[in-house]
Structure 1
Amino acid sequence: MEILMSFVVGIIFMAATYLMLSKSLLRIIIGTGLLSHGTHLLLLTMGGLKTGAAPLLGEKAPSYTDPIPQALILTAIVIAFGVTSFFLVLAYRAYQELGTDNMDRLRGTEGND
């Protein structure tokens, strides 16, 4: 299962990189969100995928799931949601003021070529 998840994470990273290299500000924001979700899956996969085991059973448990990766991912999800919300508000405000979401026009370099 870890091999399959590694391929899924690689595909998500590939799609996120493609979106972040585009000229549209909205696609860049979607790419950063996708990159954060890929990172969450990567952390979960590297923590080990165990099925049927409780997080903590006691000292005499034959197997248990480590709760630290899940706690880190929960924290990262909250932070990623806050950053994505900020990016969306910033993009909306930039679109209101400048009337475009094209990165070249936002930089002012489209007419200089």
Structure 2
Amino acid sequence: MIVVLSMYVNIGVSLYAALAKPNLVKKIIALTILGDSVNTFIILVGYRFWRPGVFLQPPVLTNLRPTSEVIRQFLEKAVDPIPQALVLTAIVINLAVTVFLATVALHMYRHFGTVNMDVVGRLKRYEVRKEMA
């Protein structure tokens, strides 16, 4: 219960930072933390708790023609692989998005001299007024 509550708090804080902070680097860090928190939450949802002393061996099928009883025992022990596959995909996508946003932040810093979105907005409005005059 405490782990789930801490995940919700972590997701909430990272959403707040991504939406409320004007610094683009802080937004990128918050989005990375958000992605990692969601991935951890998905793994937690797909996790199957083991009762002490019940499952002494990992769930591995060693027989090429398992019986229905062996399959039933395997399904009791095995973890759902779909959340794990989704998390692996999400990690790769999160890395690509983070690299892309870091590149955008670097180009913005080179062009405007800052990564503060409030200052960038003012500078863009100033440039537009300057071009119109």
Which TM class, normalised by the smaller chain length?
Answer: 0.7 to 0.9
**1:69 maps to which residue?**
83
Compute the displacement of 1:56 (Å): 5.2
**1:97 maps to which residue?**
111
Matched positions, count: 110
**Residue 36 (structure 2) pairs with residue 22 (structure 1):** no
**Residue 95 (structure 2) pairs with residue 81 (structure 1):** yes
Cα distance in structure 2, aligned partners of 1:34 and 1:24:
16
Q: CA RMSD in A?
A: 2.5
TM-score, scaled relative to structure 1: 0.81
Q: Identify unmatched segments of 5+ residues in structure 2.
A: 62-69, 127-133
> Does the Cα contact within 8 Å between 2:43 and 2:84 map onto a contact in 1?
yes
**2:39 maps to which residue?**
40
Compute the displacement of 1:15 (Å): 2.3
Cα distance in structure 2, aligned partners of 1:41 and 1:94:
32
> Does the Cα contact within 8 Å between 1:44 and 1:73 map onto a contact in 2?
yes
**1:9 maps to which residue?**
7
> Does the Cα contact within 8 Å between 1:55 and 1:67 map onto a contact in 2?
no
Higher helix share: 2
Compute the displacement of 1:18 (Å): 2.9
> Does the Cα contact within 8 Å between 2:109 and 2:115 map onto a contact in 1?
yes
Q: Identify unmatched segments of 5+ residues in structure 1.
A: none
User: Which structure: larger Rg?
Assistant: 2
Compute the displacement of 1:19 (Å): 1.8
> Does the Cα contact within 8 Å between 1:55 and 1:66 map onto a contact in 2?
no
TM-score, scaled relative to structure 2: 0.70
Q: Which amino acid aligns with 2:44?
A: T
